[in-house]
Amino acid sequence: MSDIPLGVLDLVPISSGSTAGDALRNSIDLARRAESLGYARYWFAEHHLNPGVAGTSPAVVLALTASATSTIRLGSGAVQLGHRTALSTVEEFGLIDALHPGRLDLGLGRSGGKPSGPPSVPPVTATPVVDGRAPNGLRIPPRFSFEHLLGSPRVAVQRALLQQPNAQSQDYGEQIDDILALLAGTYRSADGTQARAVPGEGADLQLWILGSSGGTSAEVAGRGGLRFAANYHVSPATVLEAVDGYRAAFQPSDVLDKPYVSVSADVVVAEDDERARELATGYGLWVRSIRTAEGAIEFPTPDEARAHVWSDADRALVQDRLDTQFVGSPRRVADQLEQLQEATGADELLITTITHGHTDRVRSYELLAEEWRVR
């Protein structure tokens, strides 16, 4: 499987007892190590109002990391366009590209945007799922409902703080079209006025659309002939729907003549299964904090996580994520990643790993790279 590139998705996690500065330094160090280990890409996510996540601005962290690395591709996974404009996004990434040309991936997501209508291409799942498994055995858990989060006061506060009062998010597809036009230097307003994004125009960026289902994001990526990244680690229940929907909507473009897909996975690797399970102990409590709209807590130690008294409701919140996290020895996890790649037809895999200790996190990526290299 060494012909399937591995990349890194980093949330810049803050471990309990540490600071945002520690988290940033650790992420930059991990990016250097990932570069030396042969990982193809290093992406930073965007999250807000999370005490345990320092990755609030992918562009800022990318600029810092670009200066500390030299060859690995760097990108956003993803810039959330619901509270941004096409121009601000192109200008920010254009600034980084001006000093580090040809290394940036502009990953775009629609979280926080206005609700969209039904896609013109209805979501499809060409891959059958029987008893919670894809045909090759990959676990596909029941669909998790995020409805309980929509009315959360915390989510409302986040939207209020991220957007100007009474601001309306632009239609996602139109926003992507504007970004492409600004990058190409072909943007015209409705009345024909030209606008040029400098820096930004002509930047050598690789554009990606990120999505968790076969809906709007998959359709926009497909009809635009753009690269698509599906999130098994966020929404494992809908990963097959996402990649199938993207492929169903795909139209060849100047960028791609056939679909191109990356799929993410949550992974913890150690020398043996027992050690890996110990390192992953805090994951369930961390996911619980996100899904209760509390905001991601500082990543706990195994002992801190074991101290939590779990209710049935707690377990129901996180079970799909626990069941689909790949935890174990290098061989075990690589086997699971091969299964994920086979089920989704992914051209690349994107690995996200969180442990309390930075050394353990680095070691997880080292062990996986070594095992993947000989497959």
- Residues whose CB falls within 8 Å of the CB of residue 275, separated by 6 or more in sequence, listed in order: none
Q: Kindly report the average pLDDT of the chain as a whole number.
A: 94
pLDDT value of position 115? 43
- For 51, phi then psi, to 5°, come to -60, -25
pLDDT value of position 117? 44
Q: Answer for the pair 249, 228: CB distance below 8 angstroms, yes or no.
A: no
pTM of the model: 0.95
pLDDT value of position 1? 65
Does 93 score more than 90 pLDDT? yes
Q: Binning pLDDT at 50, 70 and 90, where does residue 124 land?
A: low
Share of the chain above pLDDT 90, in %: 88
Does 188 score more than 80 pLDDT? yes
Distance CA 268, CA 338 (A): 15
pLDDT value of position 41? 98
Does 121 score more than 60 pLDDT? no
User: DSSP class of residue 142?
Assistant: P
Share of the chain above pLDDT 70, in %: 96
pLDDT tens, residue by residue, 234-258? 999 999 999 999 999 999 999 999 9
pLDDT value of position 145? 85
Q: Answer for the pair 162, 79: CB distance below 8 angstroms, yes or no.
A: no
Domains and CATH numbers, the chain: 6-264+343-373 (3.20.20.30)
Does 113 score more than 50 pLDDT? no
pLDDT value of position 23? 98
pLDDT value of position 123? 55
SS3 43: strand
pLDDT tens, residue by residue, 208-221? 999 999 999 999 99
pLDDT tens, residue by residue, 11-64? 999 999 999 999 999 999 999 999 999 999 999 999 999 999 999 999 999 999
